[in-house]
Structure 1
């Protein structure tokens, strides 16, 4: 495989000029992905990072918070129902909106209901109910991801996927700023002076605002065109449907990559491990270091968002200019290194200037890595099975890291924050070797579909 074409054995692409590379971001498909990326990114922190801040403030111990992060495993198993999203029509919605947009709308409604339920539930008195609504949110969000990834892959030709990935990632990260910094800012504004440190009413206002923010995605789905409909061969019996919908997408990937499929899947499984494992304890860390909601929100909003935007666009443009695999390697190096900055911050304690530097550097690294990684995953996908194959890849990306992250609270209790952050950085070292090996993987040509 060449550096510019990570997966498909297609003709060498024409190298775009800098003007052409930048102009693609203003195309309608890119702008739609900006808004849809926002809808995709909004729920994630509300069931993971921001929720961990809320739970720590409510007095839950770090071990419990770590274990509750396993709610995020819903994202790791989304490949199980991806074939249904890929092929099963929804009564009323599919005929009205199309296969992709119908599933997108259904998933977004589930996300809004789950977030609203989390808003009105107090974890101090009804932790089980909170977990149930968090699971609904995560399930709806994972389903939205399946349909949206297929929508994105089917909305543009291969050489524009990096740009769509970058705008998607920008919207995704903006939503994470809003559901991270924004929800903290809203909760701080809604607090009553001289009341207890944890105020359920303040968090209720903030989470209800997040549920309303999902309307960005709903309106975009309603106003967007459906990708060209791909006719599927009819299945004569349930066995044929199972073969075509579930088995064949995975068999196709193995046929194209043969024994090298294991190497590619190994890279996917661990590429974001440093960030995912570290991220679960980031917000409890801020609480324990004495940072206020306003301080964390202001730093994330003013500095983190700028560096996230820079990272996403730099990652997308450089992927088109110098090749996805080179930027994939750069992103892996930066992601691991940025975790060492958190170890440095742990030794400094409550230092807002240091927090600005650490969050800015971490978001820059994450933006670059994510844009390149999404483009890489998209390039591995056969458009005939776009939803199922991409769901497999993105699920594997989260499964092992989120399982390990569930024990992060126990690790911090035993060894402290500094050693924890150093350990998460070391988890990224094997990733560099896997990126180097994967850059030499060649896929068999993808045969045209029916």
Structure 2
């Protein structure tokens, strides 16, 4: 097993992914947590810091400009590496420029640069995900995903914890940002050395085709809506367990912040990386479906550790064991889940489809927070963590339903078409499109409201509720039609 781990790092494609994954993860904290720390030290007011957090929405809505990067090919290095190089050069320039700013004096310029960093970083993520999908064969994807998770997490540690330590103790904020800009040169070097994926794959000929064809391709497949629901629910148990984990460890169990920071962040990070690597190696020996089912069950069972913490006396070693096991299983699940997203992408427009699928996969992580808080207030911590195990079951059930479709895709590299209920399916897609459009308008209203450009009390909240309702209705109706189509096929 150890030899298999080491072999991953000696293969050229995996070494390239290691460097590109580092470049992909590095900018994230520089426009979020690290920037917030800098602004806090400089005594910027909380409302302004809160507005800056909206910069992170670029990562959620990156699917909006992903079709552009599928449609057009830069005049150098090819469709994938060309866009990688452009986004990386802009990131170096923007991060370095942030180092010339002072939050108290150049707040407007700092905001503009933070938006640019987030936009270019999200764009780099789009192309990096598409590059992995296009470059790796079905057998290589598990290990490739593990390498990407490893380097991405390490980069977040460098631009997060290490950057804060360097800025506070030695270099100051401005020099720290210049150092981070210099580290982005690693990504540029990797892009120049990287092989371009197969260029014989047909690309969208028009912008309209780049936007419409990925949707038409995905939703014309057998079980498309059930698979979409699987993507939303597969990590739901993990999302519930992690949504209030820090609050639980401090307020629910009684650990102090330094203990939680040391164990939950450091040990948890190492366990996640180890789990992703172990999962990637194991996926070279078992099918994608078996990996998803096995790792999904382990994810669910590992949440039982939090229940043990909730019903027993405080013990630092128990907490360490629980955190390690939960993050280890979560890392294995992440490796299998990202491989699933790659498998579901058509290489002609993998940038757009991966961006869309990853946006849906973030639904649980983003929106379970309010539900989790209400559940804990009503039922307490022990029952909440038992519920987090139950929350993982729908995803496993959907995985079992979609088994035949997933195994067909992994074995053949093609997607199983469907022919039933064409008119009804078209209406479900319209509902989903309308819901996503309303959610986009909600984001614009939220930004305008926070910047005092346009204010209508309650409008943004109503837009969020209606958009979420239409999106959920579309997914549920599509899933119902998929179930009926499956029953018809069996008959």
Q: Distance in 1 between matches of 2:373 and 2:271?
A: 31
Q: How does 1:58-97 map to 2 (within 5 A)?
A: 71-89=55-73, 94-97=74-77
User: Are 2:220 and 1:250 aligned?
Assistant: no
Matched, 1:227 2:197: yes
Report how far residue 189 of structure 1 moved.
3.1
Structure label with greater radius of gyration: 2
Aligned Cα root-mean-square deviation (Å): 4.6
Structure-1-length-normalised TM-score: 0.72
Q: TM-score, normalization: structure 2?
A: 0.67
Alpha-carbon distance in 2 for matches of 1:275, 1:82: 28
Q: Measure, in 1, the Cα distance between the counterparts of 2:90 and 2:154.
A: 21
Question: Superposed, which structure 2 residues align to 1:1-400 within 5 Å?
Answer: 23=7, 25-47=9-31, 71-89=55-73, 94-113=74-93, 115-116=95-96, 133-187=113-167, 189-190=169-170, 202=172, 206-230=176-200, 232=202, 235=205, 241-257=206-222, 260-275=223-238, 290-292=256-258, 296=261, 300-301=265-266, 303-336=267-300, 353=317, 356-399=320-363
> 1:436, CA displacement in angstroms?
2.7
Q: Tell whether the 8 Å contact from 2:67 to 2:352 is kept in structure 1 after alignment.
A: yes
Which stretches in structure 1 are left out of the alignment for 5+ residues?
1-16, 191-200, 236-240
Task: Work out which structure has the larger RCO, using CA pairs closer than 8 Å and 6 or more positions apart in sequence.
Answer: 1
Matched-pair contact (CA < 8 Å) for 2:300–2:389: yes
Cα gap change, 1:272/1:62 in structure 2, threshold over 3 Å: closer, same or farther? farther
Counterpart contact for 2:134–2:347, Cα < 8 Å: yes
Counterparts of 1:296 and 1:88 in 2: how far apart (Å)?
A: 44
Q: Distance in 2 between matches of 1:121 and 1:425?
A: 47
Task: Could you tell me which runs of 5 or more consecutive residues in structure 2 were left unpaired when the two chains were aligned.
Answer: 416-491
Q: Distance in 2 between matches of 1:355 and 1:38?
A: 29
**How far apart, CA to CA, are the structure 1 residues paired with 2:226 and 2:146?**
25
- Residue by residue, what CA displacement relative to the aligned partner does 1:236-286 show, whole Å, maximum 9, x if unpaired? xxxxx13421111221122232xx100111111233345556667667888
Moved more, 119-128 or 159-168: 119-128
SS in 2 for 1:158: coil
**1:176–1:21 CA distance, 2 compared to 1 (3 A):** closer
Deviations 1:151-179 (A, max 9, x none): 11222322222222222222222223333
